[in-house]
A and B are shown apart, each in its own frame.
Chain A
Amino acid sequence: MTATTLEVGTELPALQLPPISRTTLALFAGASGDHNPIHVDLDVAKSAGLDDVFAHGMLSMAYLGRALTGWFPQRQVRSFGVRFAAITPVHGQPTCTGKVTSVEDGLATLELVVTLADGTTTLVGDAVVSLD
């Protein structure tokens, strides 16, 4: 995308993900290097008082990263940050959205949000991308 097509308030195309399966959690544990058993081992989750495992926050951040690099070439991404607002349960179905909140000096700031199908906001964040 170029500066001419972006203005404050522009909403970027949403990235809708399928429900997160236990297989996805296992694959992500191995691929990301985060082997914390709370995400893949039901026994461990129950021992911590939880009903089930939950997704790695970084899986949702990786989905947002996919959205971001789908909107802009990665070389234009200057910063990318999120706050994890709620746990994503297994079978949760995330959607990543982005909106332009400022455009100045060749940089666009984006507001990023991940929500689940039930309306829960799981991640809120921002990214700065260069427009040259």
Chain B
Amino acid sequence: MALDTSVIGTEMPSISATMERGRLRAFAKATGQNEPTYVDLDAATAAGHRDLPVPPSFLFGIELEAPDPFEWLAELGVDLRFVLHGEQRFDYHRMAYAGEELTATSRIEDVYSKRGGALDFIVKKTAVTDTDGGPVADLTTVIVVRNPEVTA
């Protein structure tokens, strides 16, 4: 199924989430991160951080805090079972820390097909900002949708 290119430029509703220490520790546990800086507040502050640091790829999860985070894909007619993550990029303006409320605001940057429509690509750009509106990071996400019924 070729995606409708008229969605290019669509701005998505902003999602805000507080970076919680407990959640960051759960992320560390899930990823086998035992480095004290990322789990122990005293170690983090001793290393010059003001709280537990938000690790480099964690910001991807802000938008997943939405009540129905994959709704935007369903609205594009995409079956979540056939979605793959194609690329992910982070350009950092500064580090983020536990306790901060961060806001992710996304825009669909591009939509295109390859292999005769067997694969659809969705490029999404996300700005992560703090409560003062200051930039924290810019994310670029490429989603790949497999269309198994198309044989290229």
Contact = CB atoms under 8 A, between A and B. Distances in A.
Interface of A: 17-18, 24, 27-28, 30-36, 38, 44, 47-49, 56-59, 61-66, 68-70, 73-75, 77-84, 87
Nearest to A81: B89
B91 A79 contact: yes
Given A31-B26, A58-B57, A78-B92, A84 B85 contact: yes
Contacts, number: 113
Interface stretch (B5-13, B27-35, B112-120, B121-129): B27-35
B77 interface: no
Contacts of B90: 79-81
**A-B pairs with lowest CB-CB distance, top 3:** A33-B64, A81-B89, A48-B81
Interface string B59-85: 011001100011000000000111111
Nearest to A49: B148
A80 B60 CA distance: 12
Contact of B87 (A35, A68, A81): A81
Contacts of B88: 57-58, 61, 81-82, 84
29 contacts: A17-B32, A18-B32, A24-B30, A27-B26, A31-B26, A31-B31, A32-B60, A32-B64, A33-B61, A33-B64, A33-B69, A35-B64, A35-B69, A57-B88, A59-B31, A61-B57, A64-B57, A65-B57, A66-B31, A69-B55, A69-B56, A74-B53, A78-B91, A78-B92, A79-B92, A81-B88, A82-B87, A82-B88, A83-B87
B92 A77 contact: yes
Nearest to A47: B81
A33 to B, nearest CB: 3
Contacts of B58: 32, 62
Given A17-B32, A18-B32, A83-B87, A36 B70 contact: yes
Given A47-B81, A73-B47, 8 more contacts: A36-B80, A44-B81, A57-B88, A81-B88, A81-B89, A84-B85, A84-B87, A84-B88
A74 B55 contact: yes
Contact of B65 (A33, A56, A79, A84): A33
